[in-house]
Amino acid sequence: MATRQLHVAMLASPGVAHLLPILLLGHRLATHHNLRVTVLAVTATATTPQSVSQLITSFASHLSVIQIPAADISCVVPPDAKVVMQLCVMMRETIPAIRTTISAMDSRPHVLVGDIFANEYTAWFTALFTYSPVLDKQVVGQYVDNKEPLEIPGCRPVRPDEVVDPMLNRADENYDVYLSQAIGVTLADGMLINTWEDLEPQTLNALRSNEILQSVVKYKPVYTVGPVNKRYEPDGLKGEVVEWLDKQPDRSVIYVSFGSGGTISAEQINELAWGLELSRQRFFWVVRPPTGHVSDGSFFKAGQSDATCDYLPEGFLTRTQKVGFVVLSLKIVGLKLSSLIISMYASRVFAIP
């Protein structure tokens, strides 16, 4: 008697950066494990962007993609609401359409996998994220004002200045959304994390077996599925990145990038630049323009004219050209470079959380 093929539905929130890792993981499940995969891609615009259409087409031979228009949230959240809140509300309001789509399938899925609005989540972030409701009860005042590290059982302590953006202001409504998400994640039957065993063994062990953490958060099984990143062919700037990295010793380069939502102030960028320069450490830095700064998204690297970027210390690019590689980047380029670094040069690069 033939074995029934397992059908997996994978839900992706709006945006190429969220859709891509779902497609990559779905492709792996379909080609390596012979699963039937259907990706439910929630789209926030009436017309599908060309980049999304091309991305979907490239995976069409191995899995199915159903696009679901996102619900109109213009009457629910203000237009200046932060991205995390917009995505949370958008996905919540789109639940009826998602349910209708699944009900209309000729073969109901056996498994539903959903993202958490990002493609670079690690075990470290998962631990902090899911333990946040406990920290919310334990910590008095703003996290960033505390002098002592935030303790997460079995994990490396988190310095107050390391907390993620939604935790910066506990009075902001985005913080409440963040806590609600953290509670919801632990209700799932399991967690897939885009990391691998040798990268974060301590945190993964805590997520799986620390008695205190398990008793409080009640984690379900945790599976590592990373690195889930698309390899990009070395051309143009990416070719320069590859060439520069090829000349560096193993595990000698600090990789600095704050992801698609990691815009920091000009003052913070300035301080980070001085820290990198004074450390005399090799570094690769993907810099996004600071908050409120207008940029055309062009590239620059260490050694070019310092006039290229007015929010770095004067002379920084010239002084660091022998030890650093700096790239000015908009969101999607930063994500592509992140994928390139992680998938091709993990042995030469080490990250600072």
263-300 confidence digits (pLDDT tens): 677 888 899 999 999 999 999 888 877 765 544 443 33
Whole-structure pTM value: 0.70
Tokens at residue 116, please?
A: 């958490």
Check pLDDT > 80 for residue 239.
no
Strands (DSSP E) contained in 49-184 are 64-69, 111-114
**27 in active site:** no
Tokens at residue 108, please?
A: 């109901």
Q: Is the peptide bond before 227 cis (omega within 30 degrees of 0)?
A: yes
**115 in active site:** yes
What whole-number distance in Å separates Cα of residue 9 and Cα of residue 40?
Answer: 7
328-351 confidence digits (pLDDT tens): 764 434 445 554 444 444 444 444
Helix or strand run (H / E) with residue 191? strand 191-193
Q: Which fold has domain 237-351?
A: Rossmann fold (3.40.50)
Check pLDDT > 50 for residue 301.
no
Instruction: Show Cβ contacts of residue 152 under 8 Å, excluding neighbours closer than 6 positions.
Output: 127, 128, 131, 158, 206, 213
Specify the range with the lowest mean pLDDT, choosing from 101-115, 233-247, 258-272, 290-304: 290-304
Check pLDDT > 50 for residue 5.
yes
What type of residue is 97? A
- Give the pLDDT confidence score for residue 157 in this predicted structure: 92
How many CB atoms neighbour CB 183 within 10 A? Answer: 12
Q: What is the chain's mean pLDDT, rounded?
A: 81
- Give the pLDDT confidence score for residue 351 in this predicted structure: 40
Is residue 43 a contact partner of residue 56, using CB atoms and an 8 Å limit?
A: no
Check pLDDT > 70 for residue 235.
no
Catalytic pick among 7, 18, 62, 296 = 18
Catalytic pick among 106, 115, 250, 306 = 115
Domains 7-114 and 237-351 share a fold: yes
17-60 confidence digits (pLDDT tens): 788 889 999 999 999 999 999 999 998 876 667 777 888 888 98
Q: What CATH class is the domain 123-224?
A: alpha beta
- Give the pLDDT confidence score for residue 304 in this predicted structure: 46
- Give the pLDDT confidence score for residue 217 in this predicted structure: 80
7-114 in CATH: which number?
3.40.50.2000
User: What residue ranges do the domains of the chain occupy?
Assistant: 7-114, 123-224, 237-351
- Give the pLDDT confidence score for residue 2 in this predicted structure: 55
What whole-number distance in Å separates Cα of residue 26 and Cα of residue 325?
Answer: 34
- Give the pLDDT confidence score for residue 146 in this predicted structure: 92
